[in-house]
Structure 1
Amino acid sequence: MAQKTEATVEDKLRTLYDLQLIDSRIDEIRNVRGELPLEVEDLEDEVEGLKTRMEKLNDELADINHSIADRKNLIEEAKALTKKYTEQQKNVRNNREYNSLSKEIEYQELEVQLAEKHIKEFKVQIEQKKETIVQTKERLNERESYLKHKKGELDAILAETEKEEKALIEKSEEFEQKIEERLLNAYKRIRESVKNGLAVVSIERGASAGSFFTIPPQVQMEIATRKKIITDEHSGRILVDVALAEEEKEKMDKLFTSLQ
């Protein structure tokens, strides 16, 4: 902590700019991957969703087949009862018993008709389910194939950049430790607020890099003295002079080469 306090403004600016160069390199690597990780993640979710849908459809199909079996059993039972009641009618002693059995027979016949009607409806549902299952299976196969292709793309990019990115992340954390908390928080806040993540920039053609607003000559001279941390009044970015930026770029380029 004592070293951070003793560091000159120039030391702070150099360390901040080095950190910016490291973080920008990490951004570049991640930009190469682009939307691929998210695309792969979305495809994985879609594939899982389709698998769940397939399981649900197969379960529903099994339930319908079970319902058909139940109705067939009911028909067999109703026919057996009808036969039983018909036989009993032959031995009745009065009209009341005969009529009572006739009602039972009629009821069982209605049960058979209703069960047969349900079986027909279930068979229609089975055909519809089977058609949906075929379509879902085709979609699942297509999505799995596409996912495999996209994973291959992502794995190839990761194989090229993973080692360097990991080393750069470690370097970024290492350089963060060299910067006082207040300044580091400001750096991170600026990085989050600008599109390209550039929180520390050099002056290019009289303006801060990435900005069209000219910086007054007096302010440019003050920046070049490296005695004070100065921010661009328009973008809020921390400014460094061109000479410092070039020196640090040369140094960090050697570092990046060694990490690849």
Structure 2
Amino acid sequence: MATTKELSVEDKLRALYDLQLIDSRIDEIRNVRGELPLEVEDLEDEVAGLSTRLDKFKSDLVSIEEQIKAKKNAIEDHQAAIKRYTEQQKNVRNNREFNSLSKEIEFQELEIQLAEKHIKEMKASIEHKKEVVASSKEKLEQKTSHLKHKKAELNDIMAETQKEEAFLMEKSAEYEALIEERLLAAYKRIRSSVVNGLAVVSIERGASAGSFFTIPPQTQVEIASRKKILTDEHSGRILVDTVLAAEEKEKMEKLFAKM
């Protein structure tokens, strides 16, 4: 394998275009996965959130049931107190004692009414929360099922593409090693600044691929001569001639066929 210093301009252009073809193939693989990994992550967060919410509602139901039980016990205590005060009224010595006990009985009765009101409200709250729990359970089951499906889909894609991506990543590193550091940095900078990741493009119908701006005939001749590395003044992309591009595409297709 030739070292970086031994590469001619033409060899550099070929190495750059080969690297572009490999990296574009990697981009295609990752595009197949698309937003799926993020979608799976979002679904996992949503399922976890729904599960936590459901657990809280269940805990609230237990707490309310305990509060109802406490109120019922309190009602029994108030009823016992009423019974006790009523018995005491039979043995009072004067009206003042009788009235005092009557007030105590009245207070206990009010406490019973208040407790019964609270129990009624809590039972209504239980019914509402039970509806929410049922709804949350259904939503959780749907989201869990959806997550399972998406995970399986992602695993299938990963299984299909992981080997190919690993092979291409290895080849990308090999071709990067052929290219001088300054040129490689320029390639990566251009790639990161364009939406489709194309830093090296061929001339198509007198313009750089994907561009509507015509390249002057003299510049096209210079590109075809492969004596220096030229860029498109509009997009900044590195340009190669159509013949070189076709040759390298054929070579790379053979390489990809080995996967």
Partner of 1:193: 193
Partner of 2:110: 110
Partner of 1:153: 153
- Whole-angstrom CA distance in 2 between matches of 1:42 and 1:97: 71
Gaps of 5+ in 2: none
CA shift in 2, pair 1:91/1:194, >3 Å: same
Query: Is the partner of 2:178 in helix, strand or coil?
Result: coil
Matches within 5 A, 1:46-61: 46-61=46-61
Partner of 1:175: 175
Q: CA deviation at 1:216?
A: 0.8
Is 1:72 aligned to residue 72 of structure 2? yes
Question: AA paired with 2:155?
Answer: D
Is 1:82 aligned to residue 85 of structure 2? no
Is 1:231 aligned to residue 231 of structure 2? yes
Question: AA paired with 2:148?
Answer: K
Partner of 1:205: 205
Partner of 2:12: 12
Matches within 5 A, 1:118-129: 118-129=118-129
CA shift in 2, pair 1:17/1:87, >3 Å: same
- Whole-angstrom CA distance in 2 between matches of 1:185 and 1:45: 38
Partner of 1:216: 216
- Whole-angstrom CA distance in 2 between matches of 1:100 and 1:184: 98
Is 1:138 aligned to residue 138 of structure 2? yes
Query: Is the partner of 1:119 in helix, strand or coil?
Result: helix
Q: CA deviation at 1:39?
A: 2.8
- Whole-angstrom CA distance in 2 between matches of 1:70 and 1:10: 88
Between 177-186 and 136-145, the greater mean CA deviation after superposition: 177-186
Q: CA deviation at 1:187?
A: 1.6
CA shift in 2, pair 1:85/1:173, >3 Å: farther
- Whole-angstrom CA distance in 2 between matches of 1:4 and 1:91: 115
- Whole-angstrom CA distance in 1 between matches of 2:27 and 2:234: 23
Is 1:91 aligned to residue 91 of structure 2? yes
Query: Is the partner of 2:81 in helix, strand or coil?
Result: helix
Q: CA deviation at 1:6?
A: 4.8
- Whole-angstrom CA distance in 2 between matches of 1:177 and 1:94: 110
The CA deviation string for residues 25-57 of structure 1, in whole angstroms up to 9 with x for no partner, is 011112223333333333222222221221121
Question: AA paired with 2:31?
Answer: N
- Whole-angstrom CA distance in 2 between matches of 1:67 and 1:188: 66
Is 1:166 aligned to residue 166 of structure 2? yes
Query: Is the partner of 2:258 in helix, strand or coil?
Result: helix
Question: AA paired with 2:66?
Answer: H
Query: Is the partner of 1:229 in helix, strand or coil?
Result: coil
Between 23-32 and 239-248, the greater mean CA deviation after superposition: 239-248
Q: CA deviation at 1:232?
A: 0.5
Query: Is the partner of 2:201 in helix, strand or coil?
Result: strand
The CA deviation string for residues 218-252 of structure 1, in whole angstroms up to 9 with x for no partner, is 11111122222211011111111222222222222
Query: Is the partner of 1:230 in helix, strand or coil?
Result: coil
Query: Is the partner of 1:10 in helix, strand or coil?
Result: helix
The CA deviation string for residues 110-139 of structure 1, in whole angstroms up to 9 with x for no partner, is 111111001111111111111111111122
Corresponding residue pairs, total = 258
Question: AA paired with 1:236?
Answer: G
- Whole-angstrom CA distance in 1 between matches of 2:85 and 2:181: 94
- Whole-angstrom CA distance in 1 between matches of 2:75 and 2:174: 79
Q: CA deviation at 1:142?
A: 1.9
Between 80-89 and 206-215, the greater mean CA deviation after superposition: 80-89
- Whole-angstrom CA distance in 1 between matches of 2:177 and 2:91: 103
The alignment yields a C-alpha RMSD, in angstroms, of 2.1
